[in-house]
A and B are shown apart, each in its own frame.
Chain A
Amino acid sequence: MKKSLMILVSLALICIIVFLAACSKDKIAEADPTEGMTKITEGYAAGASAKVQVYTKETSITTGFTKLYIALYDSATGNRIEDAHIQLTPMMDMGTMMHSSPYENPVSEQAVNHLFPCSVTFIMSSMGGTWTLKIQVHNHMNDKEGVLTIPVTVNEPVKSKQKSFTAAHNGAKYFISLIEPTAASSKVGINDMEIAIYKKASMMNWPADSSLSVILTPEMPTMGHGSPNNVNPVHIGNGHYKGKVNFTMTGFWRLNLDFMSGTAVADTTQYFDVEF
């Protein structure tokens, strides 16, 4: 009697395990596109019948260029919305004044791997006031439009990824963001280097800049040496500049950046620090 009970229990256990295994397999097959990402917030874009979820690949949002991924769902059926037009408006309320910041709307109205990638460059942390992000959604499935405004908490990172300077050649204010390398992506060897440059045209208008050229000089301040064969970042579109930075060892590196407008010097004081 006891024996048959044991067998029964064992069989049941095996069944459960097989079932669970099958379940988890199914999940993998579906591949959640937000796997490993952090959900910042979710809400409803009233009027567009859309639920909006905002994700980032980081664990939290910090000052500087921030890549965001927006997922849209039909608020009634819960199905994904893959075709929509999304328009961002970041806003900083400092009490006495308000200003926007650079941003990049999703390039396509078609979702990429179920998500709408976009970016906001938070030029300061939430210490200075309150950040909000207005997300306007034009749901092409039902041709309705709606708006969701979410508060965003922007922390100051350990190593700044966001700098600004007043250019010597034209007196304009430029905002520069380090996109790559990050501490996590850095390796001893050749690293992709990417920065974004925006010009402050007005409090509400921060266009991407393509007019500057960039000279990259990495150094290890502690050791007093640099690295060879770096490639200066050059403009590739939308204010993004790409180049290569070589790290000859791990540790604390300073990426010195000089900005030129033709032969005129715009600024020679900027740098980003990377430690890995």
Chain B
Amino acid sequence: MAGFSQTQQPAIIEDTTRIVELREVTITSTQKTAKQQLINFFKANSSVTLEEILSRLPEISLIRRGSYGMEPSIRSFTGGQINVLVDGMRIHGACTDKMDPATIYIEPINLENLQVQTAITGFMSGSAIGGTLNMKMAEPDFLNVNKITGLISSGYQTAAKSFYESARLNYSTGKWAFRMSGTYRNNKNYRSGGGDIIDFSQYEKVNYSISAKYQHTLYTYFKADLLGDDGWNIGYPALPMDVGYAAARIGSLSMHRENPSKSLYKWQVKIYANKIDHSMDDTKRPNVPMHMDMPGWSKTYGAYTEAELKINQKQRLLLRADGSSTFLKASMTMYQPGELPMYMLTWPDNRKNQSGISAAWLLQIDSTLKLQVTGRTDFISYKLVSQEAKDQVSIFGYPSANRKDLLKNISAVISKKISQKIKVSASIAYVERMPTASELYGFYLFNSNDGYDYIGNPKLKIEKSLQADLSVIYNWKNNRVQLSYFYSSLFDYLTGTINSSFSTMTIGAKGVKEFINIPNASVSGVEGSVVLKPAPAIDVVSTVRYTAGKDNKGNSLPLIAPLKNTTSIRYQPKNFSVQLEAEAASKQGHINIEAGEDVTTGYSLLHIRFGYNTMILNNTIELQGGVENIFDRKYHEHLDWGNISRPGRNVYIQFRVYL
């Protein structure tokens, strides 16, 4: 069985970061923490999408509008509250309805690991109050000179009659290394528990990447990456429209230097650019009151540099400076026969320029006590960049919608090893985040979950949060239990409020909401994980999480997942494995009715997975299969828009050949 690499872990206190390794090539030096083991366990049986891997992490929930394009939330922080980065690069979805979080443009095959940082240190790469999800892309390797290595895999799943084909190849000349990958997915409308077909849940996509690496000196290499992702005919059963196409182009050039003997032992510089074209489509829907086109465009370019310094044996410094510029535009054109088209900008042309610096100082006070202090400041300007955009926004009484803000973030983490078995860490942070383009400039953006049109407000205050985090880890032999508690007090919390003086734009909408700041809100929660190894061939992993959110009037915040537990037992003697997985969520009764929520009933599911690998003609062959939702339960999660049922019993099989 392939091992897992562990080469790129940021040198920060590991309890604030969770890294999911996705690259399955054997690399010699590994320094696995117990935490990585937990994560490796979860993804080992993966013929899965990135979203499925994310959904297994206790900190992450996914807001689901279709079987594709789920929006990640870290500890219930979502959208503009978190950073979703691709290899440290900023990338902004081009859909006003958030159909395309950046995560959809990356396939697991492109990735080396997933780095999830919660609010405490998650602002290191960008001001945010909810943390950072960074998708670290896989790099070409120099392991096999003048030889093509790689992996071909093919899979089928019954619930959506879906095909998955992918391949990656690596070639190295010694100085140069190249990596190519491609993925094709084709999903039909899936079948939910009980046998109902969920219409408009289909999708089809290809993803392709090429990257080249040049080893300049022993310590320095240069890298160029290009990634393309094209999706089409993507259904969103919870939304009134689907996606005709969504195309992303992502490119970067970087320089990496790593020399453990120097005080500046790690240094990286990267320049990048990406663009997304996105187009919604209603032509396949029945009973459309009026046909409309809704295209969106996003273009970002930027650069960053990161350095890690060893001041002395006890002190280290992490530095980052970055800048980026993002252009967004989205429009809507409605067609009524016999009339001129109705055209408007849903995202009036706007540009966000951001530049920031951050630093983390790590101090090993003694052999049991560690301290990390992290700070960041961001200068962000937003402006409308066309007369058309300015004219539109002026309707709401904002003659100038441009703004400039300085954001400040600071945190401290202290971690103490109380005994050989018990480690405690405590953190506190003050963090800020910028309102998003939708929150500032959105023009009648329809939210099908609450049925309201949303209007932006360029005069919004930045959202702030004071957070505390406490975590206890208990380790013995190969077993480990971790318990974390966090509390986040939010100030100038951004939400929508009904403005009854405005008339709705969307046919059938209930009213118009305007983005406002409310004085305060809070989010708190508990996460726990247990990793047990009762016998060498047996692993038991269980995670549990619970989050609660309240606004200033004591109402529950929307989109908060209920108590959820996932427990897996894996038996893996040699090259065969079998895994039983139970997933259970309680009822969610803490709901926000104004946000269109209703009570979600609890559910429990059982999955079984098998794995087998062998050698044929010097190639490793891997066969994976399983049955998800064995009892064909009809269920949906609380964060699923429109209460659309999730897939029912799903039999999958996947075949992999390592070259």
Contact = CB atoms under 8 A, between A and B. Distances in A.
Nearest to A187: B391
Interface in A250-272: 250-252
Interface stretch (B269-277, B336-344, B593-601, B620-628): B336-344
A220 interface: yes
| Chain A contact residues, majority secondary structure | loop
A251 B395 CA distance: 17
Contacts of A225: 503-505
Contacts of B342: 220, 222-223, 249-252
B340 A228 contact: no
Interface centre among A220, A229, A248 (most CB of B within 10 A): A248
A126 interface: no
A246 interface: yes
A190 B395 CA distance: 6
A189 B507 contact: no
Contacts of A220: 342
A275 interface: yes
A222 B338 CA distance: 11
B392 interface: yes
Contacts of A219: 503
Given A228-B395, A246-B395, A223 B343 contact: no
Interface centre among B341, B388, B391 (most CB of A within 10 A): B391
Contact of B340 (A187, A227, A246, A251): A251
A226 B503 contact: yes
Contact of A222 (B339, B388, B397, B443): B339
B504 A251 contact: no
A3 B340 CA distance: 60
A248 B340 contact: no
Interface in B500-514: 501-505, 507
A227 B395 contact: yes
B339 A189 contact: no
Interface size class of A (residues with CB under 8 A): 20 to 34
A189 B504 contact: no
Given A190-B391, A223-B507, A251-B336, A228 B344 contact: no
Contact of B394 (A190, A222, A224, A275): A190
A249 B395 contact: no
A19 interface: no
A21 interface: no
A251 B388 contact: no
B392 A189 contact: yes
A228 B339 contact: no
Contacts of B156: none
Interface string B379-401: 00000000010111011110000
A244 to B, nearest CB: 10
Given A190-B394, A228-B396, A251 B343 contact: yes
A189 B503 contact: no
B343 A224 contact: no
Contacts of B507: 223-224
A248 B334 contact: no
A248 B339 contact: no
A189 B394 contact: yes
Contacts of B397: 229
B504 A248 contact: no
Interface centre among B336, B341, B503 (most CB of A within 10 A): B503
Nearest to A250: B343
Nearest to B342: A251
Interface string B388-422: 10111011110000000000000000000000000
Contacts of B343: 188, 249-251
Interface centre among A225, A229, A275 (most CB of B within 10 A): A225
Contact of B334 (A188, A251, A276): A251
Given A225-B504, A229-B396, A248 B391 contact: no
Nearest to A189: B391
Contacts of B332: 249
B444 interface: yes
B509 to A, nearest CB: 9
B502 A228 contact: yes
B344 A248 contact: yes
A191 to B, nearest CB: 9
B106 interface: no
B294 to A, nearest CB: 13
Contact of A252 (B339, B388, B503, B504): B339
B505 A248 contact: yes
A199 to B, nearest CB: 33
A204 B409 CA distance: 76
B503 A251 contact: no
Contacts of A250: 340-344
Contacts of A187: 388, 391
Contacts of A223: 290, 334, 342, 505, 507
Contacts of A188: 343-345, 388, 391-392
Contacts of B341: 250-251
A249 B339 contact: no
Interface string B503-534: 11101000000000000000000000000000
A203 to B, nearest CB: 39
A251 B505 contact: no
A190 B392 CA distance: 7
Contact of B503 (A190, A222, A227, A276): A227
A225 to B, nearest CB: 4
Contacts of B391: 187-190
Interface string A202-239: 00000000000000000110111111110000000000
B340 A276 contact: yes
Interface in B302-343: 332, 334, 336, 339-343
A251 B396 contact: no
Given A188-B388, A225-B505, A249 B344 contact: yes
A214 B106 CA distance: 57
11 contacts: A188-B392, A189-B388, A190-B395, A223-B507, A249-B344, A250-B341, A251-B336, A251-B341, A251-B342, A252-B336, A252-B340
| Interchain residue pairs A-B with the least CB separation, the first 9 | A189-B391, A251-B342, A249-B344, A226-B503, A225-B503, A250-B343, A246-B395, A249-B342, A252-B339
Interface of B: 290, 332, 334, 336, 339-345, 388, 390-392, 394-397, 443-444, 501-505, 507
Given A224-B507, A251-B340, A251-B343, 8 more contacts: A188-B345, A189-B395, A190-B391, A190-B394, A228-B395, A229-B395, A250-B343, A250-B344
